[in-house]
């Protein structure tokens, strides 16, 4: 059954309409013809019965007299005359016990025989009492033969209606199919780049559909034209950029590149469809970028990238946009070389400054020794002065080594509380000696950092604060997380830094303390920069100073 339904549903519109019209015609004409025939047959039967009744009534007096006189021959003659009526099979006259008095077929029903009870009868009365009954049976074959012309007419009319329905269905279906083909032709023309309007005389649903399609194509055509214009505009705009621009899919594969990519020595066909990682030098860099692409992150990195003739330094920007990435690559080889030159020049400049400062500090530190070198027989006070000068020279040299020394930059996991407790323990004797109210607050967490560099920052800031406060002073140290930053603050209630000196506190060998080397805070600044952070100073004369160090938090 399902297969048959599927076959019917797969037929063309013409076949469906033809079958539908035929079905409707048959479903209406056949029952109607059947009802008409049945009604005609019923009317014919009633007409025959009424005719018999009228004939019997017209002969009732003669029949009654013949029956009362026992003239059965006359009764038979009346029966035979009545049986000649059209549509009558046989007629009989019976008494009250249904015994035959006269029958139109005396051989089958002789006088005295009994008739079946399923025959119709008309009473013959005398003084309002039935003395006999005229029975009759209808000739069904004759009735059907009488209705045969009507049946033939009904069949012919049904057939003609069926044919008209099929023809009309075929005509309408062909008309609909032809109009739909014109609509399809409009679609094909639009696909070929031409827009043709289709109009029909019939203002029906197909015409409405065709108008709707035409208006939709107009809108689509406008959108396509705007899109092509925008594509050409942005293509020219992107091609005019000095940077290399790629558009990647969500997996990091290249599906668009501007003309600047030709500077790499590759053609479009060499790169389209390939992963952007093919241009990245270094397995660690590829692993890092692959992870960021998987997380759909936007980021900026400095990387070494491949080109056909070697490699180059590049600033690479990844912008995540829905299910794609826009990648901008800027060749910074010249910038990198310039930065290297600037660093070397800064190093030479700093070396000169450090040398001059070191010479000045060493000269001042060695002055007492030089003056005492001409004195014979040093006393106890002279020896103390020499020892103090030697310790000062040693301190200057150690700080100089720390300032110019290089760390390996290796990151390791550090506990926030442990590193503070370590440096608090180192300076605990100094805290007790000066009676300082020393308070430490640290959130309990771990982070990745260069332990030596971060330790130099913490140690020098604590030492600087303890040296600045008077006896019984106060020092507060806090280490906490703030969003994606690690924040270290060291606050004291010392005399503060004069406004005119605040810009100089990070210069090597500058110090407001009597025996200061002037290298502690420059060390803090140098190692803070190494960790990618910043340091700020807030001070009020007579109230104290607060140093705040912020570095990126690496978990």
> If we measure between CA atoms, which residue out of 303, 302, 299, 304 comes closest to residue 326?
299
- Separation CA 21–CA 27 (nearest Å): 10
User: Which pair of structure tokens corresponds to residue 378?
Assistant: 């040093």
Q: What is the pLDDT of residue 348?
A: 47
Q: What is the pLDDT of residue 489?
A: 92
User: What are the pLDDT digits (tens) for 515-538?
Assistant: 555 667 888 888 888 888 888 889
Lowest pLDDT segment from 216-220, 304-308, 364-368, 462-466: 364-368
- Separation CA 513–CA 119 (nearest Å): 149
Asked whether residue 493 falls in the same domain as residue 458, the answer is yes
User: What are the pLDDT digits (tens) for 345-378?
Assistant: 554 454 455 555 555 555 555 555 655 555 566 6
Full residue range of the structural domain in which residue 212 is found: 198-239
- Separation CA 549–CA 528 (nearest Å): 7
Residue 428's CATH number: 3.30.565.10
- 8 Å CB contact between 551 and 486: yes
238: CB partners within 8 A, 6+ apart: 245, 258
Asked whether residue 396 falls in the same domain as residue 414, the answer is no
Asked whether residue 222 falls in the same domain as residue 253, the answer is no
Of 331, 350, 383, at which residue does a domain stop? 331
Backbone angles phi, psi at 203, to 5 degrees: -95, 65
> If we measure between CA atoms, which residue out of 273, 385, 261 comes closest to residue 331?
261
pTM for the model stands at 0.37
* 463 SS3 class: helix
- State how many domains the chain has: 5
- Separation CA 254–CA 277 (nearest Å): 10
Asked whether residue 393 falls in the same domain as residue 412, the answer is no
Greater model confidence, 473 or 505: 473
User: Which pair of structure tokens corresponds to residue 258?
Assistant: 């501007």
Asked whether residue 292 falls in the same domain as residue 387, the answer is no
Q: Is 66 exposed, middle or buried (0-12, 13-18, 19+ CB in 10 A)?
A: buried
Lowest pLDDT segment from 98-112, 138-152, 255-269, 384-398: 384-398
Asked whether residue 277 falls in the same domain as residue 327, the answer is yes
Q: For residue 223, give Cα distances in angstroms to 74, 123, 227, 231.
A: 106, 96, 6, 12
- 8 Å CB contact between 508 and 519: yes
């Amino acid at each position: 059954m399902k297969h048959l339904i599927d076959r019917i549903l797969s037929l063309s519109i013409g076949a469906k309409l033809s079958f539908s019209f035929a079905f409707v015609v048959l479903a209406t004409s056949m029952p109607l013809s059947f009802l008409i025939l049945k009604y005609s047959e019923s009317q014919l039967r009633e007409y025959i019965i009424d005719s018999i009744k009228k004939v019997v009534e017209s002969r009732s007096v003669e029949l009654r007299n013949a029956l009362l006189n026992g003239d059965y021959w006359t009764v038979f003659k009346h029966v035979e005359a009545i049986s000649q009526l059209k549509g009558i099979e046989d007629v009989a006259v019976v008494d009250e016990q249904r015994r035959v008095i006269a029958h139109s077929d005396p051989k089958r029903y002789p006088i005295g025989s009994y008739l079946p009870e399923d025959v119709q009868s008309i009473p013959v009365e005398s003084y309002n009492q039935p003395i006999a009954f005229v029975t009759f049976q209808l000739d069904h074959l004759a009735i059907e033969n009488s209705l045969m012309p009507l049946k033939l007419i009904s069949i012919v009319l049904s057939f003609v209606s069926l044919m008209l329905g099929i023809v009309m269905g075929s005509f309408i279906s062909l008309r609909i199919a032809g109009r739909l083909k014109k609509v399809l032709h409009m679609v094909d023309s639009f696909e070929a780049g031409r827009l043709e309007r289709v109009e029909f005389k019939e203002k029906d649903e197909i015409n409405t559909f065709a108008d709707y399609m035409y208006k939709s194509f107009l809108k689509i055509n406008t959108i396509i034209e705007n899109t092509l214009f925008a594509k050409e505009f942005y293509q020219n705009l992107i091609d005019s950029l000095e940077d290399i621009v790629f558009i990647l899919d969500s997996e990091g594969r290249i599906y668009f590149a501007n003309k600047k990519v030709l500077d790499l020595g590759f053609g479009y066909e060499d790169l389209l469809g390939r992963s952007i990682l093919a241009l990245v030098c270094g397995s660690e860099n590829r692993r890092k970028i692959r992870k960021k692409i998987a997380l759909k992150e936007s980021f900026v990195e400095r990387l070494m990238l491949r080109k056909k003739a070697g490699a180059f330094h590049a600033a690479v920007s990844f912008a995540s946009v829905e299910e794609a990435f826009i990648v901008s690559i800027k060749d910074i080889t010249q910038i990198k070389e310039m930065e290297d030159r600037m660093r070397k020049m800064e190093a030479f400049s700093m070396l000169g400054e450090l040398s001059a400062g070191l010479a000045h500090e060493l000269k001042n530190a060695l002055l007492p020794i030089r003056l005492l070198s001409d004195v014979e027989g040093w006393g106890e006070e002279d020896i103390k002065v020499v020892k103090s000068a030697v310790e000062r020279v040693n301190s200057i040299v150690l700080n100089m080594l720390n300032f110019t020394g290089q760390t390996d930059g290796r990151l390791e996991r550090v506990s926030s509380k442990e590193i503070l407790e370590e440096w608090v323990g180192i300076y605990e004797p100094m805290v007790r000696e000066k009676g300082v109210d020393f308070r430490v607050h640290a959130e309990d967490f771990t982070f990745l950092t260069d332990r030596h560099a971060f330790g130099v920052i913490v140690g020098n800031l604590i030492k600087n604060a303890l040296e600045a406060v008077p006896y019984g002073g106060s020092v507060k140290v806090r280490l906490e997380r703030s969003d994606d930053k690690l924040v270290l603050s060291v606050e004291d209630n010392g005399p503060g830094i004069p406004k005119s000196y605040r810009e100089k506190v990070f210069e090597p060998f500058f110090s407001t303390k009597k025996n200061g080397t002037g290298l502690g805070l420059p060390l803090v600044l140098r190692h803070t920069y190494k960790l990618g952070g910043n340091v700020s100073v807030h001070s009020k004369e007579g109230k104290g100073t607060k140093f705040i160090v912020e570095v990126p938090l690496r978990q």
